[in-house]
Amino acid sequence: KAGVTQTPRYLIKTRGQQVTLSCSPISGHRSVSWYQQTPGQGLQFLFEYFSETQRNKGNFPGRFSGRQFSNSRSEMNVSTLELGDSALYLCASSFKSGGSADTQYFGPGTRLTVL
Amino acid sequence: AQSVTQLGSHVSVSEGALVLLRCNYSSSVPPYLFWYVQYPNQGLQLLLKYTTGATLVKGINGFEAEFKKSETSFHLTKPSAHMSDAAEYFCAALSGGYQKVTFGTGTKLQVIP
């Protein structure tokens, strides 16, 4: 089985631009979660989607948004980029949702640099 | 809100020595607990997880962790460190429903030959 894939792996943008990151979960997985990883703040939960519905959201501004498609693939969008948005964005998929402690499988991440 | 504390942002051990990485959680209700490992430029890989039942959890690569409710701890151990264990390790907790996982700040493990 193929693992979680994220595209692109690296991205460079300038302040004020917007960006869309993509995540393809493991086949059969219906839950996709997104995390931001920075040296200063560590790993922070952004949001989780399950069957095309956002189930939970972390403490991020509205500039961060996401969606999930019927094939479980997910995208996250960041509008009006700020320097502080530079981070590794990780996507994780699992079969179940709802606090089941189902194992999350992480992708390699997208490294976003904002200049 | 749930919080996870990892003592020591950097830990160095000699090859063959015991590895002990500390993790404490804050919750009156024991959450689900996880340890992940991250190698440079890679995502996270699950080492082990505690949900219910046996408090000593065995994971991959010879790692294990013990859930101690009285100490609100979930420390990760490995009897003998290998060079390949050099990586960053994250403790995490899941509670409150859904997949809202709270991570610790991570511990970078250095293995000295």
Helix (H, G, I), strand (E, B) or coil at A107: coil
- Kindly state the percentage of chain B with pLDDT values over 70: 93
Name the pLDDT band for B54 (thresholds 50, 70, 90): confident
What is the three-class DSSP state of A55? strand
Question: What average pLDDT score do residues B17-26 get?
Answer: 96
- Among A residues 71-110, those touching chain B with beta carbons less than 8 Å apart: 90, 92, 94, 97-99, 101-109
Say if CB A77 and CB A60 are below 8 A apart.
no
Residues of B whose CB is below 8 A from A93: none
Helix (H, G, I), strand (E, B) or coil at A111: strand
Reading chain A (115 residues) residue by residue, the pLDDT tens digits are 679 999 999 999 999 999 999 999 999 999 999 999 998 888 999 999 999 999 888 899 999 999 999 999 999 999 999 999 999 999 999 887 655 667 889 999 999 999 9
User: For the purposes of burial, counting CB atoms within 10 Å of the CB of B86, is it exposed (0-12), middle (13-18) or buried (19 or more)?
Assistant: middle
| B98 pLDDT tier (thresholds 50, 70, 90) | low
Which residues are within 8 A (CB) of B24 and not within 5 positions of it... i.e. 6 or more apart?
B4, B5, B7, B71, B72, B73, B74
For A14-73, where are the E strands, in sequence order?
Answer: 19-24, 31-38, 42-50, 53-57, 64-68
Q: Does A45 touch chain B (CB under 8 A)?
A: yes
| Contact A2/B at CB under 8 A | no
